[in-house]
Structures are given as structure tokens and as C-alpha cells.
Amino acid sequence: DTAVSQTPKYLVTQMGNDKSIKCEQNLGHDTMYWYKQDSKKFLKIMFSYNNKELIINETVPNRFSPKSPDKAHLNLHINSLELGDSAVYFCASSPQPGYEQFFGPGTRLTVL
Amino acid sequence: AQSVTQPDIHITVSEGASLELRCNYSYGATPYLFWYVQSPGQGLQLLLKYFSGDTLVQGIKGFEAEFKRSQSSFNLRKPSVHWSDAAEYFCAVAEVGTYKYIFGTGTRLKVLA
């Protein structure tokens, strides 16, 4: 059973398109995160939800919008994709904010 | 501002040699401390964590880390490295009582046969 799953694993799309990435965790955790990892492996936190409430909203373009329909799901929608959005996006969950995190396998987004 | 520094971008060791990866943090109080490993094409996996208590913590895959408050450090060690340990290693810090969670820039470990 996969603890944290993401779909799709790969996403190739044209500039200007809108796309979504889905994340689900079956660990019963209260907190979920979205990270962006660039080509140099730098991990940048984008958003975090705790019990479906947004608790971290870092400086990211407002083209990025998270949505948490319930505690087990955190989706990421990206409007008007740009070349610089190409990266690997990771979803993670933790029992509580600030505790150890469990990561999904990542979604490699390529914008052409 | 809080920060996490991993001074070594790349480290190369021979299989069977010992390993130490450095991590320093800048924080007002003692934070929660973590080490994660990322194999190529994978997500991050927790190796070990420190919340309080004994400053030497044991993790998975034979790794350990020691918290030194006086040096604001949380270095990762392994006595004998295996070829499968080749990966990217991230130190992370979480501020107690808040939601802030910061990752270091990572250290890439290469293991020579």
C-alpha cells in the first residue's frame, strides 16, 4: 500500500496550459505539503495544510493554487504554465506540523 | 532568519569507509531536527529525527546523528558506507510550536567501489 501517492508521475505540457497534480495519503496524517524541487535539487516549500486549513503559503506566483477537499487529499492546480515551472513537485504528509514528513514519489513537470 | 546549512555539496567516499555529513542550523531555540535521503528518481525518505533527550540518535540503514547544541550542529554519520548509500542527503529543521520547516540544500554522496 503506497503511503503517499501522486498522479501523474510525469506531465509534459505546453506553455500557457493549465494542469493539476493530485496527492493522496493513507497514513491518517493531519498535515500535508507541496514542495518544488529544481534541477539543483533545492527543495522549496510552497504550501501546507493542516486539517484542511492553509497554514503555510510561501511566496509563489498566484498561478499556483492548492486545494484540500479532505485531510487525505491535497491537489495543486497551476494556471498559465511557464517554462520556469518545469521542476519536480513533491507532496508530503506528517502527523502534525513540524513532525517528520513522508514524501510521495514526485511529479516531473516539463513545460515546453 | 532561520537557516540550515549543509557545507558540502558533494562528498565522495570509498565503499567501506566511514562517512560524516555536516549540518548546521541557525535558530533561536532548539528545533526538531531531521535527516532525509533521496535516491535518484525517488521521493525523500526519513533516516532519523531528533526531538529531545539523548543527543545521539539512531536511524535506519545504519545511520546515526549527534545533536550538539553548543555548535548548532546535527551531523550524520555511518561507520561503513555501502554502494547503495549513494544518494542525496538533506538535513531539515522544524521550529518547535510553529509550522516552519526548512530543508538544507543537500549533499550528494558518491560511493566508489
Q: What pLDDT sits at residue A1?
A: 66
Q: What pLDDT sits at residue B95?
A: 82
Count of CA atoms in the C-beta half-sphere (13 A) of B109: 28
Which cell is A96 given?
502534525
- Tell me the pLDDT tens digit for each residue of B50-101: 998 999 999 999 999 999 999 999 999 999 999 999 999 999 999 877 777 8
Q: Tell me whether residues A100 and B49 touch, CB distance under 8 A.
A: yes
B38 touches chain A (CB under 8 A): yes
B108 touches chain A (CB under 8 A): yes
Q: What is the C-alpha end-to-end distance of chain B, expressed in Å?
A: 41
Q: What pLDDT sits at residue A23?
A: 97
Q: What pLDDT sits at residue A71?
A: 92
Cα distance between residue A32 and residue A94, in whole Å = 6
Cα distance between residue A109 and residue B83, in whole Å = 30
Count of CA atoms in the C-beta half-sphere (13 A) of A6: 28
Q: Where are the beta strands (DSSP E) in B3-112?
A: 3-5, 10-14, 19-21, 24-26, 32-38, 44-50, 56-58, 64-68, 73-78, 87-94, 101-103, 107-112
Question: Is residue B30 over pLDDT 80?
Answer: no
| Alpha-carbon torsion (B4, B32, B35, A91), positive or negative | negative
Cα distance between residue B17 and residue B85, in whole Å = 12
Cβ contacts of A55 on chain B, cutoff 8 Å: 99
Residue numbers in chain A where pLDDT is lower than 70:
1
Question: Is residue B28 over pLDDT 80?
Answer: no
Q: What pLDDT sits at residue B106?
A: 96
B44 touches chain A (CB under 8 A): yes
Q: Tell me whether residues A100 and B95 touch, CB distance under 8 A.
A: no
Q: How confident is the model at residue B8 (pLDDT cuts 50, 70, 90)?
A: very high
